[in-house]
């Protein structure tokens, strides 16, 4: 009898042992509820299965384990399943071993983040070579700026569509489709002969940034909810590093091709074949080595049970009604958005302003993007630590401090006239702004439970939007010197970061105000249950939200412990989903 | 911590780069003696609206020291450069003219550099084939006379002070190659076909398994 209970994820240590009838009854009830709750993130059109920080838990009180079922029901009763990592009842890994390539979990993790990394390389591959490209194609500053805007705009839409694609085809094909269908766009750079062609190709290449979604989707079906925050944070941060590595890789490749005898205006075109090859190779690796789900591939598994998905219109409605969605959209636009803008402009900036060699400028630009390796997880971690002491208020202040200091150092970077100071300010700026990205996703999971996937996706799209906007205003015309553009962008970022003060939770308060004194409204349950209509509540569809509400009482900070309310673990353990 | 090491290393490297710039900082273009060198640049093809092709067409450059030159004894080397006319600098801040010589970006393309022979007083000329990395634009030619410590002391240019006369246009090479285009198409096709093959294959296998 203990084995049976354990395999369902229940611990006997606390309250009751279920009798046979109870077990049958509850597992049927569970079946329906599970199907509902995991579908709110996964249903076609909600776009963001896989961007969630946590999967939901069972409706009745269970101490400890968080076994979230995935949207694709799998066989739990396979006795011969042998995995290299410890797994839960869904065969999702409960441990994260970054140095392992074991099938299927760690392999999926590595294939996922490397695919995302490769797409970042392709999207920003042109940036360090702009000094050569602008001479070849006779580009003006506005041409270069517009192409930069185009390179990040495509992903706004492709990211929103990607969740649906992954639902239909599975993470493997979602990733492979994106990689292998956008590889031709990378190769087509050899046909470009003017500003219009350059802009179109950069726009088309930019679509592949949606691999972020497929990567996070894949890790979410492979890893247990307890560690998904850390796993997604690493995948997101290490993928973002691609924007830095490309600044180093492309000038090096260009230089080698020139040494081999090609003239510069041909060499840069040949250099683009490298990201193209990487994409094709990764696509093939994903298809041959990867696996959609812990138990096998989507097409060879039988789907069991009815999977009724949450209505997209409802999920959309509650996301749109929640004002915090818009605040986060803008905030992320001035953290991730600024980061992507810098990926596009910083190499050219150092090349022109300090008269450096192409590969030296590339090296400096690369260190901006590579700081992501630790800076992003650091931000998420700082958010979690501050929440331990000060609850949600701590998270908000952490975000504000990180993003504002990022803005300050951005202003300093624009003002710097000597190279050492410029590099110093750039490094501090990179840590500030990238940690802010991590901190934002420390808050996103709490904004909504029902519409979490969509809000995460919208926040991510906000990053691309912010990048397009800042490039359009500050770096597309001769109105501002690039240095002034940087400083003004920093100031604009600091102004928008003030919006953090407007994020208010009735149950936890905000930066300056405490939680509401209203007895009913100050409960977490009230906030999360408000996303369900009475009819839905009667059907019990909101059970997952209630469980979540119970779990996030720790967002009250130290008071939660002294309140004597349930000392449950906070929903994130480490860093939540990163975009 | 990794960031401290990175910061320290980059500070160290960059302070070394920084110090090498110190010597040339304050020298201004306006300090140079104007018109010391008389220089003319004749394109191999002339005429209304003629655009020279990079890598193919030539410039015939003739120069001599002007009789009004006062700093002539200091001349050690003559550096001849291809410079952008104002029309090619519009909306392109990386080609901007600056008074500080080390900042000036308007003459980035080196044509030739040779030592100055004070004994030869007559005009000398040489041919220059436009390099294949010259961008599309409108240009003139300028020659700097450089002294023993590599400081510019005088200059002369093939156009007037307002840079409106005797300009010539160059069309850059496209950089495209048929072989590159073909390779690009081949790899693109391979990528799409490989994906389709995998997809179809897997669907077929799934059907077979389901029918079992």
Q: Is the pLDDT of residue A299 over 70?
A: no
Q: How far is B108 from chain A (nearest CA, A)?
A: 12
State the residue range of the domain holding A438: 310-556
Best interface-test mutation with A: which of B20, B94, B105, B171 has the largest number of A CBs within 10 A? B94
Q: What is the largest CA-CA distance in chain B?
A: 100
pLDDT in tens, A332-370: 999 999 999 999 999 989 999 998 988 899 899 999 999
Domain membership of residue B188 (yes or no) is no
- Cα angle A43, A44, A48 (rounded to 5 degrees) comes to 70
Quick check: A134 and B94 CB within 8 A? Answer: yes
Q: Is residue A577 part of a domain?
A: no
Residues in chain A with CB shorter than 8 Å from the CB of B174 are: 136, 193, 265
Q: Which residues of A touch B132 (CB under 8 A)?
A: 263, 265
Question: So what's the pLDDT on residue A432?
Answer: 95
**pLDDT band with cut points at 50, 70 and 90 for residue A443:** confident
Residue A198, chain B, CB below 8 Å: the answer is no
Q: A360 contacts in B (CB within 8 Å)?
A: 17
* pLDDT score, position A248: 92
Backbone angles phi, psi at A49, to 5 degrees: -60, 125
CA A348, chain centre distance (Å)? 27
Please say whether the beta carbons of B129 and B58 come within 8 A.
yes
Task: Mutation target for A interface from B175, B187, B199, B200: give the one with most A CBs within 10 A.
Answer: B175
CB contacts of A283 in chain B (<8 Å) are 191, 194-195
Q: Verify that A242 and A324 share a domain, yes or no.
A: no
Q: Does residue A75 form part of some domain? A: no
Q: Is residue B163 part of a domain?
A: yes
Q: Cα dihedral sign for B144, B146, B152, B153?
A: negative
The answer to the question of residue B96 being in a domain is: yes
Residue A325 CA: distances (Å) to CA of A454, A463, A509, B206 = 10, 13, 17, 41
Which residues of chain A have a CB within 8 Å of the CB of B175? 136, 263-266, 268-269
Nearest to B14 among A265, A348, A419 (CB): A419
Among positive and negative, which fits the CA dihedral A45, A288, A237, A158?
A: negative
Average pLDDT over residues A393-419: 95
Same domain, A419 and A533: yes
Shared domain for A296 and A369, answered yes or no, is no
User: What pLDDT was estimated at residue A22?
Assistant: 60
Same domain? For A136 and A248 the reply is yes
Does A196 share its domain with A326? no
pLDDT band at A47 (very low <50, low <70, confident <90, very high): very low
In a domain, B71, yes or no: yes
Contacts of B82 in chain A (CB under 8 A): none
Retrieve residue A179's tokens.
Answer: 């990689």
Question: What average pLDDT is seen over chain A?
Answer: 80
**Facing A265 at nearest CB: one of B14, B137, B175:** B175
Q: Given an 8 Å threshold on Cβ–Cβ distance, is A371 in contact with B194? A: no
The structural domain count of chain B equals 1
Q: Which of A341, A277, A336, A438 is nearest to A124 (CA)?
A: A341
- Mark yes or no for CB contact A371/B11 under 8 Å: no
Instruction: Give the pLDDT confidence score for residue A213 in this predicted structure.
Output: 82
Q: Does A276 touch chain B (CB under 8 A)?
A: yes
Kindly report the length of chain A. Answer: 579
Which residue did the predictor score with more confidence, A214 or A401? Answer: A401
CB pairs under 8 A between A and B: 142
The DSSP bridge pattern shows strands B137-146 and B37-43 to be unpaired
Give domain status of residue A48, yes or no: no
In sequence order, which ranges of A354-476 are alpha helices (DSSP H)? 358-370, 372-415, 419-447, 452-474
Nearest Cα residue in chain A from B132: A263
Across the interface, do B6 and A420 touch by the CB < 8 Å criterion?
Answer: no
B155 by DSSP, 3-state: which?
A: strand
Q: What is the pLDDT of residues A178-189, one digit of tens each?
A: 999 999 999 999
- Domain presence at residue B34: yes
Long-range contacts of residues B204-210, Cβ cutoff 8 Å, at least 24 apart? B205/A299, B205/A300, B206/A299, B206/A300, B209/A300
A268 touches chain B (CB under 8 A): yes
- Structural domain for B123, as ranges: 29-171
N- to C-terminal Cα separation, chain A: 42
CB contact under 8 A, A190 and B176: yes
Query: Which residue in the set A283, A352, A371 is minimally distant from B195, CB to CB?
Result: A283
| Residues A267, A149 within the same domain | yes
* Separation of alpha carbons A382 and A575, rounded Å: 9
| Closest in B91, B180, B187 to A141, CB measured | B91
Note whether A474 and A144 are within 8 A (CB): no
Q: How far is B79 from chain A (nearest CA, A)?
A: 20
> Distance between CA atoms of A58 and A65, rounded to whole angstroms?
10
- Residues of A whose CB is below 8 A from B180: 190, 266, 269-270
Residue with tokens 């005797």: B166
If we measure between CA atoms, which residue out of A439, A429, A335, A445 comes closest to residue A378?
Answer: A439
Residue A279 with chain B: CB contacts under 8 Å:
191
| CATH, residue B38 | 2.60.40.1930
Is the per-residue pLDDT at A267 higher than 70? yes
A268–B18 C-beta distance less than 8 A = no
Q: Are residues A296 and A376 in the same domain?
A: no
Q: Which contiguous run of DSSP H or E holds residue B58? A: strand B58-65
* Closest-approach residue (CA) in chain A for B136: A138
CB A195 within 8 A of CB A150: no
**Minimum distance, in Å, between the CA of residue B8 and any CA atom of chain A:** 9
Distance from CA of B32 to the nearest CA of A (A): 22
Q: Write out chain B's pLDDT in tens, 212 residues.
A: 567 666 666 666 655 555 444 444 578 888 888 888 889 999 988 888 889 999 999 999 999 888 888 888 888 999 999 999 999 999 898 999 989 888 889 999 999 998 888 888 888 899 999 999 899 999 999 999 998 898 889 999 999 888 898 899 999 998 899 999 999 999 999 999 999 999 999 888 878 877 77
Total tally of structural domains belonging to chain A: 2
Residue A78 has pLDDT above 70, yes or no: no
Taking the Cβ of residue A264 and every Cβ of chain B, the question of whether any pair is shorter than 8 Å is answered with yes
Alpha helices in A8-129 (DSSP H): 20-42, 105-123
Residues of B in contact with A264 (CB under 8 A): 133, 175
Q: Are residues A107 and A211 in the same domain?
A: yes
Provide the pLDDT confidence category of residue A563 given band limits of 50, 70 and 90. Answer: low
CATH number of the structural domain spanning residue A247: 1.20.1250.20
Residues A357 and A276 in one domain: no
Q: Are residues A442 and A381 part of one domain?
A: yes
Spatial distance between the Cα atoms of A177 and A179, rounded to a whole number of angstroms: 6
**Residue B104 belongs to some domain of the structure:** yes
Give the CA angle between residues A150, A151, A153 to the nearest 5°.
60
Residue B6 falls within a domain, yes or no? no
Distance from CA of B191 to the nearest CA of A (A): 5
pLDDT at A388: 83
Please state the three-class secondary structure of A353-375 as a single string.
HCCCCHHHHHHHHHHHHHCHHHH
Asked if B176 lies within 8 A of A131 by C-beta distance, the reply is no
| Residue A21 pLDDT | 59
Tell me if B55 is assigned to some domain.
yes
Q: In the 8-state DSSP scheme, what is residue A305?
A: S
What is the model's pLDDT at position A114?
A: 95
Contacts of A470 by beta carbon, 8 Å cutoff, 6+ apart: A334, A337, A338, A341, A489, A492
Place of tokens 């049976």: A4
pLDDT digits (tens, 9 = 90+) for A473-502: 999 888 888 999 999 999 999 999 999 999
**Same domain, yes or no, for A249 and A301?**
yes
> Are residues A159 and A136 part of one domain?
yes
Give the helix/strand (H/E) hosting A496: helix A482-497
Does ipTM top 0.85? no
């Amino acid at each position: 009898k203990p084995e049976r209970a354990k395999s369902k994820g229940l611990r006997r240590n606390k309250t009751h042992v279920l009798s046979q009838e109870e077990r049958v009854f509850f597992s049927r009830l569970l079946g329906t509820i599970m199907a509902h709750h995991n579908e709110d993130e996964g249903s076609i059109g909600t776009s963001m299965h896989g961007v969630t920080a946590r999967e939901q838990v069972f409706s009745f009180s269970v101490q400890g384990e968080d076994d979230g079922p995935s949207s694709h029901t799998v066989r739990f009763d396979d006795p011969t399943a042998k995995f290299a990592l410890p797994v839960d009842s869904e065969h999702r890994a409960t441990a994260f071993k970054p140095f392992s390539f074991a099938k299927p979990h760690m392999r999926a993790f590595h294939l996922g983040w490397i695919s995302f990394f490769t797409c970042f390389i392709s999207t920003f591959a042109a940036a360090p070579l702009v000094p050569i490209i602008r001479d070849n194609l006779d580009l003006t500053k506005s041409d270069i700026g517009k192409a930069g805007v185009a390179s990040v705009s495509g992903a706004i839409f492709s990211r929103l569509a990607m969740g649906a694609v992954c639902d239909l085809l599975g993470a493997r094909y979602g990733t492979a489709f994106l990689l292998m269908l956008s590889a031709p766009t990378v190769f087509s750079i050899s046909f470009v002969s003017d500003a219009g062609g350059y802009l179109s190709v950069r726009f088309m290449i930019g679509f592949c940034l949606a691999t972020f979604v497929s990567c996070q989707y894949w890790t979410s079906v492979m890893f247990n909810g307890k560690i998904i925050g850390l796993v997604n944070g690493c995948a997101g941060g290490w993928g973002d590093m691609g924007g830095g590595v490309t600044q180093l890789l492309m000038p090096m490749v260009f230089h080698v091709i020139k040494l081999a005898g090609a003239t510069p205006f041909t060499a840069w075109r040949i250099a683009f074949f490298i990201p193209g090859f990487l994409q094709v190779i990764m696509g093939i690796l994903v298809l041959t080595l990867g696996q959609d789900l812990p138990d096998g591939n989507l097409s060879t598994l039988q789907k069991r049970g009815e999977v009724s998905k949450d209505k997209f219109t409802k999920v959309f409605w509650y996301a749109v009604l929640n004002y915090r969605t818009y605040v986060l959209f803008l905030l992320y636009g001035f953290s991730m958005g600024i980061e992507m803008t810098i990926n596009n402009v910083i190499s050219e900036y150092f090349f022109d302003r300090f008269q450096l060699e192409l590969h030296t400028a590339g090296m400096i630009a690369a260190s901006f993007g590579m700081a992501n390796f630790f800076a992003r997880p650091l931000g998420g971690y700082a958010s979690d630590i501050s929440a331990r002491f000060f609850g949600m208020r701590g998270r908000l202040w952490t975000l504000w401090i990180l993003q504002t200091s990022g803005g300050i150092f951005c202003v300093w970077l624009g003002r710097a006239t000597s190279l050492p100071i410029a590099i110093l300010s750039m490094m501090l700026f990179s840590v500030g702004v990238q940690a802010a990205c991590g901190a934002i996703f420390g808050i996103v999971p709490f904004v909504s439970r029902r519409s979490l996937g969509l809000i995460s996706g919208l926040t991510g799209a906000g990053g691309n939007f912010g990048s397009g906007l800042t490039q359009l205003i500050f770096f597309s015309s001769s109105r501002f010197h690039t240095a002034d553009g940087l400083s003004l962008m920093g100031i604009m970022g600091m102004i928008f970061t003030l919006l953090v003060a407007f994020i208010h939770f009735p149950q936890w308060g905000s930066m300056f105000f405490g939680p509401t004194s209203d007895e009913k409204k100050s409960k977490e349950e009230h906030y999360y249950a408000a996303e369900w209509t009475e009819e839905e509540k009667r059907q019990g569809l909101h059970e997952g939200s209630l469980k979540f509400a119970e779990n996030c009482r720790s967002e009250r900070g130290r008071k939660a412990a002294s309140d004597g309310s349930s000392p449950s673990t906070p929903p994130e353990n480490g860093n939540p989903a990163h975009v | 911590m990794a960031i401290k090491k990175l910061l320290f290393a980059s500070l160290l490297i960059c302070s070394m780069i920084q110090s090498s710039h110190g010597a040339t900082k304050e020298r201004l273009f306006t300090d140079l003696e104007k018109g010391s060198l008389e220089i003319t640049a004749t394109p191999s093809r002339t005429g209304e609206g003629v655009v020279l092709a990079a890598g193919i067409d030539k410039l015939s450059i003739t120069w001599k020291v002007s009789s009004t030159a006062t700093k002539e004894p200091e001349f050690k080397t003559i550096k001849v450069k291809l410079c952008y006319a104002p029309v090619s600098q519009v909306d392109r801040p990386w080609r901007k003219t600056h008074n500080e010589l080390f900042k000036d970006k308007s003459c980035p393309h080196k044509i030739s550099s040779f030592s100055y022979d004070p004994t030869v007083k007559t005009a000398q000329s040489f041919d220059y084939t436009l390099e294949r990395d010259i961008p599309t634009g409108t240009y003139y030619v300028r020659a700097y006379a450089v002294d023993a410590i590599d400081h510019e002391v005088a200059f002369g240019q093939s156009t007037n002070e307002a840079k409106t006369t005797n300009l010539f246009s160059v069309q850059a090479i496209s950089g495209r190659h048929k072989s590159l285009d073909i390779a690009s198409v081949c790899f693109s096709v391979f990528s799409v076909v490989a994906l389709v093959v995998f997809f179809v294959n897997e669907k077929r296998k799934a059907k077979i398994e389901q029918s079992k």
